[in-house]
Structure 1
Amino acid sequence: MMPTSAEMKAVMTKYASLVSAGDAEAVVALYADNATIEDPVGSPAQSGREAIAKFYQGACASGVKINVLSGPYGSFGNSAAMVAEVLVEVPGLGPSRIELVEVMEFDAQGKISAMRAYWGQEDMKPV
């Protein structure tokens, strides 16, 4: 049985809070073992628990903060989306803001099976 829209939205909200708190281990626990991350979409996908852990350890170590601007929005399927801003220190650019859309797919256990972040270079702006 697939997770409900409310359950998917709750995971996305928890995800944003945990990333902002710098708790990489708890973020990784939200993912299925064989999950993928494509951040940004078009970049090489990170696949599997080890790659996902490395991705979030790096992100959390850099002090990334995620603020949900709109949503999360559920679906009648196994996906949910939200509009967010990511605040991060970008080497050579300094404190930056990236406005993006994150789409997550979920498995039957309510774990994230795929995360895709839609943003491009023009969406990264100095703060």
Structure 2
Amino acid sequence: MPDVQHMKATMRRYADLFNAGDHVAVADLYADDAVIEDPVGKRPVEGRAAIEKFYADSIAAGAKLVAHEVRGSYGNRSAMRFSADLPGLHIDGIEVMTFDDGGKVVRMEAFWGPDDFQAV
């Protein structure tokens, strides 16, 4: 199991790489069979190729992330309060990442819904 510092650093690196526009490096943080549910309740994105496309599309849409708070756990999960800005839209939410023993993300769940975004 990865230590809490690794999990927290990975979440911060995720936001930095996303904002740098490097969808390949963001996808490299994930295991090959990882799953993204963003937002929770929406159809999951599964596997490396789909994850890379998900981030490429998000970056191409002009999204930017801010990691406001990152928290670890005694287990293999870490959480981050984030905001995302897209042209004309601001989202506030929570992301939870689950890690495998090698320190790769195997699942990312983003918690945000209709009352967590606003037009700007």
TM-score of the pair, normalised by structure 2: 0.97
Aligned to 1:11: 10
Q: Does 1:112 align with 2:112?
A: no
Alpha-carbon deviation of 1:59?
0.5
The 8 Å contact of residues 39 and 118 in structure 1, kept in 2 or not, is answered as: yes
Written as runs of structure 1 = structure 2, the 5 A alignment for 1:45-84 is 45-70=44-69, 72-84=70-82
TM-score of the pair, normalised by structure 1: 0.92
Query: Structure 1 residue runs of 4+, over 2 Å off?
Result: none
Gaps of 5+ in 2: none
Aligned to 2:25: 26
Deviations 1:54-111 (A, max 9, x none): 10110111121110122x100010000010100012xxxxx21100000000011111
For 1:97 and 1:68, locate their aligned partners in 2 and report how far apart those are by CA, in whole Å. Answer: 14
Task: Give the residue type in structure 2 aligned to 1:114.
Answer: R
Gaps of 5+ in 1: 90-94
Q: Root-mean-square deviation (CA), in Å?
A: 0.8
For 2:68 and 2:89, locate their aligned partners in 1 and report how far apart those are by CA, in whole Å. Answer: 16
Aligned length: 120
Alpha-carbon deviation of 1:36?
0.2
Paired-residue identity, %? 46
Aligned to 1:125: 118
Deviations 1:17-75 (A, max 9, x none): 111111101100000000000000000111101110110110111121110122x1000
Task: Give the residue type in structure 1 aligned to 2:92.
Answer: E
2:96 to 72, 78, 103: 103
